[in-house]
Chain A
Amino acid sequence: EAQVTQNPRYLITVTGKKLTVTCSQNMNHEYMSWYRQDPGLGLRQIYYSMNVEVTDKGDVPEGYKVSRKEKRNFPLILESPSPNQTSLYFCASSSGTGAEAFFGQGTRLTVV
């Protein structure tokens, strides 16, 4: 089954403790990206990757890092999480520019 898998689904952490949210897709897609969803602000792109070792900032990249060492994986790294990064995070993938986007199930992160 074609899918985008995120882990963990839920995470509660403390300010400053580094964490990684993993994302993996099995569709051999070139493009992958991360979004966050906040009440009243909707979904906003954090980072994207157009291929292995190619990443770039989206609309709200501050406080986040990503890497794309393999085509299927695109982890999101929070080196020093802060409470304003409490949000619902989604990973997405697509085969190319203008192609249909597929989303993961989401990761609900709470930073206390």
Chain B
Amino acid sequence: KQEVTQIPAALSVPEGENLVLNCSFTDSAIYNLQWFRQDPGKGLTSLLLIQSSQREQTSGRLNASLDKSSGRSTLYIAASQPGDSATYLCAVTGADNAGNMLTFGGGTRLMVKP
């Protein structure tokens, strides 16, 4: 059964730092990997989607990479801002499951201090 792990569970950084969030998964047979942001009391906002054939995706200050063979993804946030404070979740869609089920990691709670 697919398992997704995110390290670290929590991270506190000063404003302006570049940072990396890690995600690992046990089964490399995936359709894609998606990074989400979750703010307290709010829903999940999709940040980046990487298809299994891709190595990375970029959106603004965010860059996500995927190494499917080793079961790893990283989310790089450049020049962090207090507004980036949130919980970041990665999720994979297994290649053998119906219904497009996402298997989520436990999340990294990020705090960016002014």
List residues of chain A with CB under 8 Å of any chain B CB: 4, 31, 33, 35, 40, 42-43, 45, 48-50, 56, 58-59, 90, 92, 94, 96-106
Tell me if B102 counts as interface (CB < 8 A to partner A). yes
Kindly state the separation between the CA atoms of A39 and B100 in the bound complex, as whole angstroms. Answer: 23
Closest 5 CB pairs of A and B: A98-B31, A48-B99, A103-B44, A105-B43, A43-B104
Tally of A-B residue pairs with Cβ under 8 A?
A: 66
Decide if the interface of chain B is mainly helix, strand, loop or mixed.
Answer: strand
Contact present for B34 and A101 (CB under 8 Å):
yes
Contact present for A94 and B89 (CB under 8 Å):
no
Report the count of interface residues on B (CB-CB < 8 A): 25
Which of A42, A59, A99 is B100 in contact with, Cβ under 8 Å? A99
Kindly state the separation between the CA atoms of A96 and B43 in the bound complex, as whole angstroms. Answer: 21
Contacting A at CB under 8 A, from B87-101, are 89, 91, 93, 98-101
Closest Cβ neighbor of A98 among chain B residues: B31
The answer to whether A48 and B101 touch (CB under 8 A), given A42-B106, A97-B31, A100-B34, is: yes
Decide if the interface of chain A is mainly helix, strand, loop or mixed.
Answer: strand
Tell me if B20 counts as interface (CB < 8 A to partner A). no
Contact with A along B67-110 (1 / 0, CB 8 A): 00000000000000000000001010100001111101111000
CB neighbours of A90 from chain B (8 A)? 43-44
